């Protein structure tokens, strides 16, 4: 098993506690700036409206980058949100990399003095949480190791923002119980159908039940899939 990257490890040490989204986003962005070869970071979250809101930007440049694409209506971050794929732009001056949004790319270089931008969607299956934007003034890709660390960090950040990490520092719980657990995803879908709620809310209900019963989420999910446990409205 390869070592977890520095940023992913730092994120796993963040406890949700009573922090709000803004404080959590701040901790996530700071861990990225410290651990990756970048100058700044920002997180925007999906709101109830079909739009996003920047909840944290590590500096004025990161904030300007967010403002630019919201006002232009295009950009790497919007692309990442819509395509639900990481959008990694090593050089904003390279037309081959910016063909989809030339106006935005020109503005990023001229107004913000930024050359490299990496936009990572924060998603968990069909649950879209937001986008993590990382920028650097100098052009160039992230190394393969840092790309892996950043992708893992985006997953960890998603779980933190979904309020799903209750055991900070437990790297084992992260690496074995989540992405690998088909049952957790299946149980999420079953609770969506049982209660007529969103997948994010269904996951929260599963998590709350596990917490109240002092059980592991995956054991609760197992009972749901085996139809030994069924969630009822207003219980």
Partner 1 sequence: MANRAEEVAMSERDTGREALLIKAFVGLADTLVDDYDVIDVLDRLAGYSVQLLGVESVGILLADAQATLRVVASTNEQTDWMELLQLHADEGPCVDCFRAGAPVNVDDLATAAARWPRFVAALQERGAYGSVHALPLRLRGQAIGTLNLFHGAPGPLPAADQALGQGLADIATIGILQERAIRRGEVLSEQLQAALNSRVIIEQAKGVIAQHGNLTMHAAFDRLRHYARSHNLRLTEVARQIVKTDLTADVLTAPAAPKPAASRR
Binding site for partner 1 (CB under 8 A): 1-2, 4, 8, 84-86, 88, 90, 96-97, 123-126, 141-142, 144, 147-149, 151-152, 155, 175-176, 179-180, 182-183, 185-194, 198-199, 225
**Residue among 141 and 168 whose Cβ is closer to partner 1:** 141
CB of 58 to partner 1, least distance (A): 23
| Residue 104 CB burial class (10 angstroms; 0-12, 13-18, ≥19) | buried
CB of 195 to partner 1, least distance (A): 10
Of 41, 37, 47, give the one whose Cα is nearest residue 65: 41
CB of 78 to partner 1, least distance (A): 17
Residue bearing tokens 């996003």: 52
**Residue among 166 and 194 whose Cβ is closer to partner 1:** 194
Strand order in the sheet with 87-89: 52-57, 40-46, 127-136, 116-124, 87-89
Give the DSSP H/E element, type plus range, for residue 118.
strand 116-124
**Residue among 57 and 129 whose Cβ is closer to partner 1:** 129
CB of 42 to partner 1, least distance (A): 20
Instruction: For residue 145, give both structure tokens.
Output: 């190791």
Backbone angles phi, psi at 43, to 5 degrees: -125, 130
**Residue among 139 and 179 whose Cβ is closer to partner 1:** 179
Strand, helix or coil for residue 85: coil
CB of 190 to partner 1, least distance (A): 4
**Residue among 56 and 124 whose Cβ is closer to partner 1:** 124
Helix axes of 76-83 and 60-72: crossing angle, nearest 10 degrees: 70
């Amino acid at each position: 098993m390869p070592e977890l990257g520095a940023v992913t490890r730092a994120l796993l040490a963040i406890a949700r506690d009573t922090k709000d989204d803004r404080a959590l986003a701040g901790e996530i962005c700071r861990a990225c700036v410290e651990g990756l070869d970048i100058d700044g970071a920002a997180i925007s979250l999906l709101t109830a409206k079909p739009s996003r809101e920047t909840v944290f930007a590590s500096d004025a440049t990161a904030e300007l980058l967010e403002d630019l694409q919201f006002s232009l209506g295009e950009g790497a971050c919007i692309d990442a949100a819509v395509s639900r794929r990481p959008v990694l732009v090593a050089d904003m001056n390279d037309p081959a990399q910016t063909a989809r949004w030339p106006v935005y790319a020109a503005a990023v270089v001229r107004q913000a003095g930024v050359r490299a931008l990496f936009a990572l969607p924060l998603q968990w299956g069909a649950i879209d949480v937001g986008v993590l934007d990382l920028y650097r003034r100098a052009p160039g890709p992230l190394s393969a190791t840092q790309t892996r660390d950043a992708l893992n960090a985006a997953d960890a950040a998603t779980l933190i923002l979904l309020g799903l990490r209750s055991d900070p520092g437990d790297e084992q719980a992260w690496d074995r119980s989540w992405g690998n657990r088909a049952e957790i995803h299946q149980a999420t879908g079953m609770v969506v159908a049982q209660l007529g709620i969103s997948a994010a809310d269904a996951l929260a209900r599963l998590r709350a039940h596990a917490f109240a019963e002092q059980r592991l989420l995956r054991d609760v999910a197992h009972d749901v899939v085996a139809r030994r446990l069924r969630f009822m409205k207003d219980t």
